[in-house]
Amino acid sequence: MVGIVELQNVTKRYVMGSTAVDALGGVSLLVEKGDFVVIVGPSGSGKSTLMHILGTLDHPSSGNVLVDGKNIASLDDWDLAMLRRKKIGFIFQSFNLIPTLNTLENVMIPTEPLAFGKEGLEERAINLLKKVDLGNRLLHRPDELSGGQRQRVSIARALINDPEIIFADEPTGNLDSVTGKNVIELMYGLNKKEGKTFVIVTHDQSLLEYATKKVFLLDGKITKIEYKKAAARKGEKK
């Protein structure tokens, strides 16, 4: 089976003056359709770098990144933007919503540059917002929403282009534990019921219980990958 995203022996080296830092030292990872990958590691372990490379925002120093079996090294900025627009969704720790736009407009922002094919998008955005329980907050602006609500807006934004894979960088990092749990349960539900593929990067070990694939990262290397059958996950009968 071909993975949605596959890393083959990827390294990333940052050069600052005379010192070189190896953020990633030979990482191989396969993300398959329907996966709920949780990558954990202490700060400085290279997990953000790993996510940026998985999400095509950054290029590796060596090794291959395959998306749908195709090496992305040959793609230019424009191709990569198109790839992200069509196949990838992002959820950020600090939400990164546009403060001047309301909830509905924020969800639709990835589709804003489209010249055509916008029919039905607003309806789709409204449905997504209903799904994340914000159907009654369509015209609120980000500063009128709580942290948990803002993160749910960004989840809806990540889903607007019906992506194959969604990357989340510390999605619970700016939220209290109860709100964070609600947010992660929401993503979990989308994975379980709709088969959406998630890759979550976090230092919060408690998210591991939702994972189909637990990836442990330390000093730029994967120390362990644990697989769990979907059926064995939290809340599901064995």
Partner 1 sequence: MIKLAFLNLFRRKTRTLLCALGIAIGVAAIIVLVSLVDGFTEEFNAVVGSFKGLSVYEKNTQDAVFSKIDESYVGRIESLPGVKAAIGEIWYVPQKIDTEAVGLTAFAAPTVYGLDISKYYSTNASGWVGAVEKGSALSSSELGQVLIGRKIEKDFKKFVGSPIEIDGKRFKVKGILKSESDLTSSIIVMNLDDARDISPLESGQISSLTVTLNDFSKDATVAKLIELQFGDDLQVFTQADLSEQFGSIVGNLRLLAIAVAIISSIVAGIGIANTMLMSVLERFREIGALKAVGWTRGNIMKMILYESIFLGLFGGLLGILLGFGVDFILLLVGISSHISIGLLLSSFLFAMFLGIVSGIYPAYRASKLDPVEALQG
Q: Which residue has the tokens 């989340």?
A: 168
Half-sphere exposure of 7 (CA within 13 A, CB side): 26
Contact between 152 and partner 1 per CB under 8 A: no
Contact between 202 and partner 1 per CB under 8 A: no
Q: Which is nearer to partner 1, 83 or 225 (CB)?
A: 83
Contact between 48 and partner 1 per CB under 8 A: yes
Which region, judged by CB under 8 A, interacts with partner 1, from 99-107, 185-193, 207-215, 229-237?
A: 99-107
Site residues for partner 1, 75-94, by CB under 8 A, read 77-78, 81-82, 84-86, 88-90, 92, 94
Contact between 181 and partner 1 per CB under 8 A: no
Other CB atoms within a 10 A radius of the CB of residue 77 amount to 7
Per CB under 8 A, the list member of 100, 120, 231, 238 interacting with partner 1 is 100
Contact between 112 and partner 1 per CB under 8 A: yes
Contact between 45 and partner 1 per CB under 8 A: no
Q: Which residue has the tokens 């599901």?
A: 236
Going by C-beta distance under 8 Å and a sequence separation of 6 or more, which residues neighbour residue 6? Answer: 29, 30, 31, 64, 65, 66, 69
Q: Which residue has the tokens 């909830």?
A: 103
Other CB atoms within a 10 A radius of the CB of residue 133 amount to 13
Single-letter residue type at 225: I
Q: How far is the CB of 147 from partner 1 (least distance, A)?
A: 16
Q: Which is nearer to partner 1, 57 or 225 (CB)?
A: 57
Contact between 144 and partner 1 per CB under 8 A: no
Q: Where in the chain does DSSP place strands (E)?
A: 5-16, 19-31, 36-40, 62-67, 70-71, 88-91, 165-169, 197-202, 213-218, 221-227
Distance, in Å, from the CA atom of 176 to the CA atom of 206, rounded to the nearest integer, reads 13
Q: How far is the CB of 108 from partner 1 (least distance, A)?
A: 11
DSSP SS3 for 15: strand
Q: What is the DSSP letter of 4?
A: S
Contact between 157 and partner 1 per CB under 8 A: yes
Contact between 161 and partner 1 per CB under 8 A: yes
Contact between 139 and partner 1 per CB under 8 A: no
Contact between 138 and partner 1 per CB under 8 A: no
Q: Which residue ranges make up the site for partner 1 (CB under 8 A)? A: 48, 52, 55, 57-58, 77-78, 81-82, 84-86, 88-90, 92, 94, 96, 98-101, 109-110, 112-113, 157-158, 161, 169
